[in-house]
Amino acid sequence: MAGKRDLSIEDVAHLIALAGKSADPGPLYRAVQRIAAETIGWRLFTILRHVEADQAVERLHSSDAAAYPVGGRKPLAKIAASHAALEKGEAVLAATKEDVHRAFFDHELIFSLGITAILNVPIRHAGRHLGTLNLCGEEGMYGAGDIARAKVLAGLLVPALLAVG
């Protein structure tokens, strides 16, 4: 875990407090982004919500609004394989550049940002898929510990996504 710190109980308590403090999810999204940078690492960090009625996902938060703006949508048909796994509650790791190329239709934009690995973690509540926490980095960056930390952070986003949608 070179250059990364462990996720702490203080981090979790801070995020829970933020989730309960305000109807504005912005401070919570920014805090999760910061903690994810320190404990997991990323080049691009996004939070998406599942819009079941439109069969799409919509970006609620982005660390790079120029390349991936808030409000941007992707139809589920273009991300069917990864969405199916996320619907079942499974994290999806495209660990190599080849995996990213196969899994993401917008791989050229992804590669232009220096991203060669993507970790998508479902945000779920009561058996329902609410959205995903997405961490994009480089090959070899994400392992089992990173996935576990990302799952904790994704779970702490549940109140904010329930409020949105």
Give the pLDDT of residue 82: 66
DSSP annotation of 48 reads E
Mean pLDDT of the chain: 91
Whether 30 contacts 160, CB under 8 Å: no
The model's confidence at residue 84, banded by pLDDT at 50, 70 and 90, is low
Whether 125 contacts 146, CB under 8 Å: no
- Residues 113-157 pLDDT 10s: 999 999 999 999 999 999 999 999 999 999 999 999 999 999 999
Q: What is the pTM of this model?
A: 0.92
Q: Give how far the C-alpha of residue 36 lies from the chain's centroid of Cα atoms, to the nearest Å.
A: 10
CATH for 9-164 (3.30.450.40, 3.30.70.260, 3.90.1330.10, 3.30.950.10): 3.30.450.40
Between the CA of residue 24 and those of 28, 100, 149, what are the distances in Å?
8, 33, 24
String of DSSP letters for 80-99: HHHHHHHHTT--EEE-SHHH
In the numeric block, which tokens belong to residue 98?
A: 């080849």
String of DSSP letters for 117-128: EEEEEEEEETTE
Domain ranges of the chain: 9-164
In the numeric block, which tokens belong to residue 7?
A: 């996720």
Give the pLDDT of residue 3: 75
Between the CA of residue 143 and those of 37, 47, 96, what are the distances in Å?
15, 20, 12
Strands (E), the chain: 44-51, 56-62, 73-75, 92-94, 117-125, 128-137
* Cα distance between residue 146 and residue 79, in whole Å: 23
